[in-house]
Structure 1
Amino acid sequence: MNEPATETRSVVVEREIPFPPEKIWRALTEPHLIEEWLMKNDFKPAVDHRFNLRGDWGAVDCQVLTVEPHKTLSYTWDALGLESVVTWTLTPTSTGTHLRMEQRGFRADQQQAYQGAKFGWQRFFANLEQVLARAD
């Protein structure tokens, strides 16, 4: 039942961000803000909503799985043969929010996608922090 072929890896990025969860939630769920730090999109924070993220290199097909305002957001992330799930978790802290992003579902033979995601999410997070710093 437990063949190595089914084992998958995750990319996890965690940050302490000096803004309340409500503000970060907006950046994660409002299409015009998502576009500023991630990609063009037709996102709606509604379970089962299908949306695309569009970058210069192509598109990501997504479907919303979980929406718990200011707490948890997850959606499928399918691109270039990768079938994965991205989960955002927001935890209030005394100074702001602990933001955790996990993208799980990288197979052993998807080393390039895995490394690309590790690199890409660091950049997306840097962009996200810039958007938060200037958004109201």
Structure 2
Amino acid sequence: MNDTATEIRSVVVEREIAFPPEKIWRALTQPHLIAEWLMKNDFKPVPDHRFTLSAEWGSVDCRVLEVEPNRTLAYTWNAYGLESTVTWTLTPAGAGTRLRMEQAGFRPDQEQAYQGASFGWQRFLDNLQQVLAR
């Protein structure tokens, strides 16, 4: 039996952030804040809402899959042949929040996209933390 599921990889970034889930949730779901740390967008935290993330290099077609305020946000992330899902999980941790981002759906032939995402998400989360600190 050919099990292709094992070949699909994920990029996972986890951080402890010294802000409550509600504040991080706003930065993940308000378009003007998303634009500051990720990309320009027409996001709405509504299941099945289709939106576009756009940057100088191009755009990402997305669709909201799951919205559980202050806990979970998931959306598709489709660009340049990559069909993936981004899932944000917020877990209260002490005085702050454990933030977990998983982008799942990288095929074996998408090594460049996988490496790019591994690097890119670290930078996006650095930017996110700067937005939160303001």
Give the structure 2 partner of residue 28 of structure 1.
Answer: 28
Amino acid at match of 1:81: G
Give the structure 1 partner of residue 15 of structure 2.
Answer: 15
Give the structure 2 partner of residue 40 of structure 1.
Answer: 40
TM superposition outliers: structure 1 runs of 4+ over 4 Å:
none
Sequence identity percentage: 76
Counterpart of 2:15 in 1: which secondary structure? strand
Q: TM-score, normalising length from structure 2?
A: 0.97
Distance 1:78 1:95 in 2: 35
Query: By how many angstroms is 1:6 displaced?
Result: 7.0
Alpha-carbon displacement from aligned partner over 1:63-102 (angstroms, at most 9, x marks no partner): 0000000000000000010000000000001120000000
Counterpart of 2:62 in 1: which secondary structure? strand
Alpha-carbon displacement from aligned partner over 1:78-129 (angstroms, at most 9, x marks no partner): 0010000000000001120000000000000000000000000000000000
| In the alignment, structure 1 residue 66 sits paired with structure 2 residue 31 | no
Distance 2:89 2:83 in 1: 20
Q: TM-score, normalising length from structure 1?
A: 0.96
Stretches of structure 1 lacking an aligned partner (at least 5 in a row): none
Distance 1:29 1:84 in 2: 19
Counterpart of 1:117 in 2: which secondary structure? helix
Contact 1:5 1:108 in 2 (8 A): no
Task: Note the aligned Cα RMSD (angstroms).
Answer: 1.2
Give the structure 2 partner of residue 54 of structure 1.
Answer: 54
Query: By how many angstroms is 1:2 displaced?
Result: 3.2
